[in-house]
Amino acid sequence: MIGIILRFKTAVALVLLGLLTLLAGIGQKTVWAPPATVTAVAPSGATAAPLTVIDEKLRTLHGGTVKITVKGEGSFMLASGRPDDVNAWVGKTAHNTVTGVSGDGKALQLDHADGEATAPSPAGSDLWVTTENANGEMNYNWTPPADGDWSLLLASDGTKPAPSSISMTFPNDTSTPWAIPLMVLGGLLILAGAALLLLKSKRDATDDDDSAGTGSNRKGSLFARRARAQAAARARARNAGAAPEGTVEPGRAESRVATAAVRRASGAAIALLTAAAVAGTGVAAQASQAPSPAPSGSSAAAKGSGVPVLLDAQFRRILEQVAGAVDAGDAAKDAAKLAPRVAATELDVRTQNYKIRSQVGSYAPRMPVRATKLLTTVVSSKRDWPRSVMAVTQGDGNVVPQLLTLVQASARENYKLVGATPLQPGTTFPAINRGGTETLAASDKSGLLYSGEEALAGLGDRLSSADSAFKDKLAEGQSSPYIADTLAYQADVVKSGANGTFAFSHKVVPENTVVFRTADGGALVLGRLNFGFDGTPKNSGDKLTIGDDAAALAGGKDTSTGMVLTFAESVAVYVPPAGSKDPMKLVAATRGLVGAKFK
């Protein structure tokens, strides 16, 4: 009787425990499930500043896409850029930085840095990969435009305070590692309890059948009397402490079956609890060992080493703006329209070209600059300033491909075209890694046959003298007709100008030199030479006459005192790697008249 009660209580306890465990597992997936997102809000009362930086580590704080909501008065913008670019643009301006999230995940952490009260408007800067503009409110999904770290810059116009109402919604960890194990365990406990209840019901039914058989026809047939006699003998033997060999006591057999079932159910429950504990520990360990966001400045992108200064989309956008500015200036013959996107050699040449063409209608215009039919790009991975990039294009009006060299002087200035140089006929452009290449100082000769300044100086010497020491060090002939043409032009001037003495020079302008490392370890050197053409009458009373183009700049055609003409030469020279036996090669060259005066 005691065993029956114990089995009943055990079965009920298992069922109740199973139900509780099952409900606990279901609860973790429903009413106790963590929210899908968490939102942190910038604290009110923060010190106002014209700029707000959102640190790059917030984008990967919880994984997934971060949603940013900004509210402010009037118009404002949110720009994305590399962390070093954002920091360089901010410079010494007072600003706030969103650096992290509080421990409870409800508040954004802000750091304030004092500095200059205002900054230029960040709108239109070439540093930004993407920009979003809004009026009053902005909802922004922060996704990276490329691999690496990315920061955000929030501003109005650089003079007004940046919006201070900022909230960031992060994906939350919704994993419930114990939910499934608890539901499985609860179900098995319920099954174990049900099994015990079924076993008890069967035993009770067996006992009822035995009782009914004993209470009817105690005499019965001969076979029945013999069966009762054998049962009585077994009872006596049991009372005597020994059961006949080969007999099994029904009561004990059922008791053993019930005990084994209880043990099996208990064992299964213990095993499942252990397995669930191990599984839960494994999940917790996995969560604790998941890689956390790298600290600020630890990655190559944060440091800026080896990361190209422009993405393809940025480069194309910049190139289109440069081409647009040049088209506007060429159409109006107005150098003021070039200023936002053209500088150095190209600005000098086009400015003077416009001046000459305003007086000499037959004077040839400068080759147009095109952003279409982009053949290749060369991007520096040198992230300090000035930064240099190059494109090879051949759009409408370009008889041959031309090299467009662009330079960004500082973080707050945009890229400007400094040279547009047509390739030499039959020349193959050297291979350069499009994913970003090294730029070298003009004096750096590491791994090269010549440094950049040596290469340009050698070219200048060769253009100045037919007997130059660099005659055999520069490839000539059909692959570099510019050298032969220049020498022939100079010889013709001397021959035809019998009443004058003439001198020619080709001098390097050092500040215009840009050097890109090529894929074979050599370099492509781009720069400017000032081609000086000096003429003096041989005898008193002799006169020198200049062409209409030079006369437009000099203010006259004839001189008895002498004259000086200056041409800006844009050139590109390939320099082989150190140890090579190959000569240098003039890859691209052109010149334009930029000055004419009488002595």
Residue 586 in this model has a pLDDT that exceeds 90: yes
pLDDT level of residue 226 (50, 70, 90 thresholds):
low
pLDDT band at 191 (very low <50, low <70, confident <90, very high): confident
Please state, in angstroms and as integers, the Cα–Cα distance from residue 305 to each residue in 86, 294, 447, following that order. 15, 16, 20
DSSP for residue 262: H
Q: Summarize pLDDT for 158-173 with one digit per residue, the tens.
A: 999 999 999 999 987 6
What does pLDDT average to over the chain? 84
pLDDT classification of 10: cutoffs 50, 70, 90: confident
Task: Give per-residue pLDDT as tens, 536-555.
Answer: 999 988 999 999 999 999 99
DSSP 532-586: EEEEEESSTT--EE--HHHHHHHT-SEESS-EEEEEEEEEEEEEPBTT--SPEEE
Taking only the tens place, the pLDDT of each residue in 55-85 is 999 999 887 899 999 999 999 999 999 999 9
Q: Centre a 10 Å sphere on the Cβ of residue 522 and count the other Cβ atoms it contains.
A: 25
What's the pTM value of the predicted model, to 2 decimals?
0.77
Bigger pLDDT: 141 or 289? 141
151/161 Cα distance (integer angstroms): 19
Query: At 227, is the pLDDT very low, low, confident or very high (cuts 50, 70, 90)?
Result: low
Of residues 234 and 301, more confidence is placed in 234
Q: What is the pLDDT of residue 198?
A: 80
Closest-CA residue to 586 (of 511, 510, 479): 479
- Between 126 and 426, the more confident residue is 126
Answer yes or no: is pLDDT of 88 > 80: yes
Average pLDDT over residues 457-483: 90
Please list, in sequence order, all residues whose beta carbon lies within 8 angstroms of the beta carbon of residue 493, skipping any fewer than 6 positions away.
502, 533
**CA gap 442, 384 in Å, rounded:** 16
Q: 526 or 204, which is more confident? A: 526
In DSSP notation, 89-156 reads HHTTB-EEEEEEE-TTSSBEEEEEE--BS-----TT-TT-SEEEEEEEEEEEEE--SSSS--EEEEES
What's the pLDDT at 229?
A: 65
Q: Which residues pair with 376 in a beta bridge?
A: 392
Q: pLDDT at residue 86 above 70?
A: yes
Does the pLDDT at position 139 exceed 80?
Answer: yes
Sign of the C-alpha dihedral computed for residues 539, 543, 546 and 550 taken in this order:
positive
Which residues are paired to 138 by β-bridges? 70
